[in-house]
Structure 1
Amino acid sequence: MKSALSVVFGVAAVAFIATPVISFAGGTISGKVTYGGKSEQKEFLFSKFPNPKFCPKNPNKSLMDGDKRFLKTVEVGKDGGLKGAVVAVTDIEDKAFVDGYAGTEVTAAFCEFLPFSGVVVNTRPFKVENTDSDPDDPKSTAGVLHNPHSFTVKGSTSATGFNIGLAKKGDKLDKPVTFRGGAEKEGYYRLQCDQHEFMQSFFLPVTNPHFVVVKEDGSFELKDVPAGKHKVVAWHPFAAKGKKVEFEVEVPEGGTANLKAEIK
């Protein structure tokens, strides 16, 4: 009898050990950012800025019309999808992420800062590289002068972070983001070229890896978000005057929470 019991117990133990252990890394937040308004843009005359013959060589021809250059401040697509919006979880402070963040990278290419929108981490690096030169202009064969000027913005106020000229192709800068007095919780980071005003980029401060820039149709997906209730913001530098719109989302372990994020 003891022998039979031992065999049964042994089989059961083996069966228990062989059962796969399922482990979830969290859940997913999926949805779309929409805007109730219309597309907007600012117009600039190339003739009023340096390099009026080079800057129109930008391959994105939707940014210009004849001698006019456009800064597309708001782009609204099908079903109200808001291009350039950023979605981020805001109630998680991840020190390991902050300490390990390598930095935000921006490229000056054909008189345009790329990307248009993204994220920054306070005290961590912000990097800009100038890739422009004009072989047809004797003054710019070594490089088209760009002057990246950064600002921390909070409401109607802003403060300069850095203001550095990049005169040659290949010139780079690497400076820390400097929000002060808790401004990163309410504000955002803005980059503008002092040589070419239509070169602008915008960045939302984050404290964890759970963020995403939406696709062109406004859709997004945030994976591996810890299960539970979270505060999530949808943000665009021009829609709703740059104010963050906050939502509360319940993320299921191993499942998906749907978020329809409307910015009015």
Structure 2
Amino acid sequence: MFRRSTFLLRPLAMATGLASLVFAARTADAAIPPVGPVSSAIIGQGSYGTIKGRVVWEGDVPTPKVLVEEGKASKDPEVCGAKQPILSQELLIDPKTKGIAGALVYLSKPNGTNPEAVKALLSKNPKAVLDQKGCEFFPYIQGIYKDQPLEIKSSDSVNHNIRYTCFTNPSLNQMLGVGGHLEVKFEAERRPIMVACDIHPWMKAYVAVFDHPFYAVSGKDGSFEIHGVPAGAQNLVVWQEKVGWINPGKAKGAPVTVAAGEAVDAGEFKIEPSQIKNP
């Protein structure tokens, strides 16, 4: 079927308390991985190294945006936000560390390959999964390798539809009934693919498809690690939904030199309130 295919300022203590509670709930539910898809325990470092760093917030932590109030969804309120409000995951900031979760980090046009890293990735996760629970997508953002099929499914007792538009792969707009699922295989894409549900217009998620295994999603404290990177000159890209490219060099990436058997710290990639699009 397919080719391979805002916040209102409040007293700081109140805002910080709510942000802490919300952040803990969102990151636990979304299960955002703190490092790359393959750990250093699996990949021998021989001619390879590790890139690590953090994505951090500069400024006061904003109060999370409520997309759907508890029990007040415009569609299917008995399922959507029935037990808790649905909150925006566009900007997940840990109030304690000011780390930003859910930033996508990857190499732009890697210099070199690592077949063992690919083999380990596919052995550990033969396919990727995008689920719908309580009228939210989980995980909110993920990176996948082009040889990993993506299973899109619904754990909800209401209908959804799946819609996305791609540069390289065929676009899709398809109903997904109760208990439904479909499997899609992608070629690598230039940008993260936004997946949406038009029945419940607040629903969205991002899937980034790569033709290499050198990518990660930042964890709760904003940290990330990419293991098994070929030694030598590389270009690192850090992308966050509300900002776009955070790193110097934008889509081309910021230069990083990787040493065999060592971990290079790319430092902190900072986001300021003035950089946020449509707060």
TM-score, normalised via structure 2 length: 0.65
Q: Which amino acid aligns with 1:55?
A: C
Gap runs ≥5 in structure 2? 1-43, 248-252, 272-279
Query: How does 1:114-129 map onto structure 2 within 5 Å?
Result: 114-121=138-145, 125-129=149-153
Give the secondary structure class of the aligned counterpart of 1:173.
strand
Q: Which amino acid aligns with 1:131?
A: S
**Cα-to-partner distance string for 1:48-89 (whole Å, 9 max, x where unaligned):** 53211222245xx4xx1xxxx322311222343111111112
**Cα-to-partner distance string for 1:11-37 (whole Å, 9 max, x where unaligned):** xxxxxxxxxxx9715111122112336
CA distance in 1, matches of 2:78, 2:108: 44
2:79 matched to which residue of 1? 54
CA distance in 1, matches of 2:173, 2:148: 17
CA distance in 2, matches of 1:206, 1:260: 24
Give the secondary structure class of the aligned counterpart of 2:90.
strand
Q: Which structure shows the higher strand fraction?
A: 1
Deviates more, 1:35-44 or 1:102-111: 35-44
Determine if contact 2:194/2:207 at 8 Å carries over to the other structure: yes
1:162 matched to which residue of 2? 172
Query: How does 1:138-157 map onto structure 2 within 5 Å?
Result: 144-152=158-166
Give the secondary structure class of the aligned counterpart of 1:209.
coil
Larger radius of gyration: 1
CA distance in 1, matches of 2:101, 2:67: 19
In structure 2, relative to structure 1, the CA distance for the partners of 1:177 and 1:217 (3 Å cut) is: same
Does 1:257 find its partner at 2:264?
yes
TM-score, normalised via structure 1 length: 0.68
How many residue pairs end up in the alignment?
Answer: 212
In structure 2, relative to structure 1, the CA distance for the partners of 1:124 and 1:150 (3 Å cut) is: farther
Moved over 6 A (4+): none
Give the secondary structure class of the aligned counterpart of 2:54.
strand
Query: How does 1:1-264 map onto structure 2 within 5 Å?
Result: 24-36=46-58, 39=62, 41=65, 43-44=67-68, 47=72, 49-57=74-82, 61=84, 64=85, 69-77=86-94, 78-92=96-110, 97=118, 102-121=126-145, 125-133=149-157, 144-152=158-166, 161-169=171-179, 171-177=180-186, 184-185=189-190, 187-238=191-242, 240=243, 242-243=244-245, 245=247, 246-264=253-271
Determine if contact 1:49/1:195 at 8 Å carries over to the other structure: no
Gap runs ≥5 in structure 1? 1-21, 134-143
**Cα-to-partner distance string for 1:88-136 (whole Å, 9 max, x where unaligned):** 12222759649x7954320111211000111245686332111112xxx
For residue 247 of structure 1, report the CA deviation from its aligned partner: 1.7
Determine if contact 1:24/1:254 at 8 Å carries over to the other structure: yes
For residue 197 of structure 1, report the CA deviation from its aligned partner: 1.6
Root mean square deviation, CA, Å: 3.1
CA distance in 1, matches of 2:73, 2:137: 19
CA distance in 2, matches of 1:167, 1:23: 45
Give the secondary structure class of the aligned counterpart of 2:81.
helix
